[in-house]
Amino acid sequence: MAWSLAETRMRIVCLEQGGWMNPADYPSTRTGWEQERFQGAFSLSPNGRGRREDYPINDSDSPIKISNFNAVGGSTILYAAHFPRLHPSDFRVKSLDGVADDWPIDYATLEPFYDLNARMMGVAGLAGDPAYPPKELPLPPVPLGKLGETLGRGFNHLGWHWWPSDSAIATEEYQGRAACINLGPCLTGCAQGAKGSTDVTYWPVAVREGVELRTHCRVREITVDDKGMASGAIYVDAEGNEHHQRAEMVIVACNGVGTPRLLLNSRSKLFPDGLANSSGLVGRNLMFHPYAMVTGLFDEPLEGYKGPTGCSIISQEFYETDRDRGFVRGYSAEMIRGMGPVSTALWGMSSSQLPWGQGHHAAYDALWDRTAGMVLICEDLPEPENRVTLDPDLVDSDGIPAPKIEYRLSENSLKMLDHAVARGSEALEAAGARQTWPEAPLPPAGWHLMGTARMGTDPGKSVVNSVGRAHDVKNLFVVDGSVFVTSGGVNPTNTLQAISLYVADHIKRNLETLFD
């Protein structure tokens, strides 16, 4: 958003509660990288990392725990860079399937911004995927490797769709970024700079264009004037000093948990229930993607430790609704590569494949480099009872109330997870797995955070309109996963970035009349 608006020559100030990351500090530069993925500064949960940049999240009332990251680049620092788009059908689930609501925009609206985002992020992929309208990507796909080819043969045997993943990974030198060297531990930060995290894609250009980025600034609330217009933000700097930054326009991009937290914390006489919350929907309709994971054990080495962790092949055979399955909507199957040595040992112990004592090393040899798996990303339908509120007791290091998660899996999601596990196991067995192990739902997989400030045309049923502007506050915009009306069955990053570019384009084209 900042990069796109920079061409207007407006003064743009961005308040980021994290700081710039130093790639030399990423765990992949050290031999203990696997341990740091499970605990420490680069683990998934903000509750266990101990970084001041994070805020605590009470997710005890949810079977799926929150995974996010606060820094310049946000959670793209730790994401896998699997980069699919939503399908055209995802914007019309009410019309097509009679559930949830239709979006006020469609795939065609976002298509040019998907294309622009692909060029900026450096997306690798293969044209011709029959699951999508035609699209061209700037880089060739990530190599499948022996593991990807093996699983592809399994899908071929079953006659099911699969395609090389769209990945925000530079497969060759691109715009000054080095090419991927197939190191593997993408989920703890890419020291190579090949992964398209926004600190190496959009931010350097935005800063060169004059955007002011203030780091280690935690926003406590958005302020409003006596006419109900946003007037700026109160924030706390790294030294604990409080400031008020005035603004003619305020744009929120804190994602599906941070955005409702900020809006609910922004109470005033005009907005006693939180800013932009006349509908009562700020924080409601929280959507994750309930994940299942199925791991298969193969007889031969698969070289699964080579290549980007979550970017190999994707199957969308079961993406669209088929009511004979007993649920509506569907899911994607994304292949994940093999485990590192420590992860292999831990998984072997948890799955009772690795005994202590005599035979330990022989059993380990039978596991190492012989596992492959997939995660099955199930569409989560919006439910008002699934929500983000403010915890009455928990606060961050600056005393700001922390978010509380209330979430339950719907009957539709549970049926979809069961179907996904069965089909995932079937695909691995068709590829040659001699045994499979499922896990559903996957507890730490709360990394896709959507729906808590949803788009819509009716102010009583949504928080923002079709261009991300709050119904209640004419100069307040939201551009993150919280505006999603439905979740689809794919990773949301590509879409939420396309939405940001789309909203920025609207603002640029309507500057003179924007607040009339």
All structural domains of the chain, each given as residue ranges with its CATH number in brackets, are 2-338+370-513 (3.50.50.60)
Structure tokens at 426: 């079937």
- The pLDDT value recorded for residue 283 is 98
Helix H segments across 328-410? 341-350, 360-365
Question: What percentage of residues in the chain have a pLDDT greater than 70?
Answer: 100
Amino acid at 125: G
Per-residue pLDDT at 50 exceeds 90: no
- The pLDDT value recorded for residue 424 is 97
| CA 245 from centre of chain | 29
pLDDT averaged over the chain?
Answer: 96
The stretch 59-68 carries a mean pLDDT of 96
Percent helix / strand / coil, the chain, rounded to 5: 30, 20, 50
Give SS3 for 275. Answer: coil
255 confidence band (pLDDT: 50, 70, 90): very high
Structure tokens at 490: 């794919």
CA distance 193 to 222: 34
- The pLDDT value recorded for residue 40 is 82
- The pLDDT value recorded for residue 149 is 96
119 confidence band (pLDDT: 50, 70, 90): very high
Among left, alpha and beta (phi > 0; psi -120 to 50; other), residue 350 is: alpha
499 confidence band (pLDDT: 50, 70, 90): very high
pLDDT in tens, 427-441: 999 999 999 999 999
The stretch 44-56 carries a mean pLDDT of 91
The contacts of residue 226 (CB under 8 Å, 6+ apart) are: 270
pLDDT in tens, 17-49: 999 999 999 998 988 888 888 878 898 899 988
The stretch 282-299 carries a mean pLDDT of 97
Structure tokens at 292: 């299942």
Parallel, antiparallel, or unpaired for β 250-252 and 476-478?
A: parallel
The secondary element (H helix, E strand) that includes residue 377 is: strand 371-378
CA distance 48 to 35: 13
- The pLDDT value recorded for residue 117 is 98
pLDDT in tens, 469-489: 999 999 999 999 999 999 999
- The pLDDT value recorded for residue 300 is 95
- The pLDDT value recorded for residue 5 is 98
Per-residue pLDDT at 295 exceeds 90: yes
- Judge contact between 291 and 394, C-beta under 8 A: no
- Judge contact between 377 and 291, C-beta under 8 A: yes
- The pLDDT value recorded for residue 37 is 81
The stretch 47-72 carries a mean pLDDT of 94
- Judge contact between 478 and 455, C-beta under 8 A: no
Per-residue pLDDT at 354 exceeds 90: yes
CA distance readout (Å), 225 to 12, 168, 285, 459, 475: 20, 41, 29, 21, 12
The stretch 405-416 carries a mean pLDDT of 98
- The pLDDT value recorded for residue 35 is 85
pTM of the model: 0.96
- Judge contact between 474 and 276, C-beta under 8 A: no
- Judge contact between 189 and 21, C-beta under 8 A: yes
For residue 444, the tally of other CB atoms under 10 A from its CB is 13
Per-residue pLDDT at 185 exceeds 90: no
Structure tokens at 516: 């009339």
The secondary element (H helix, E strand) that includes residue 250 is: strand 250-252
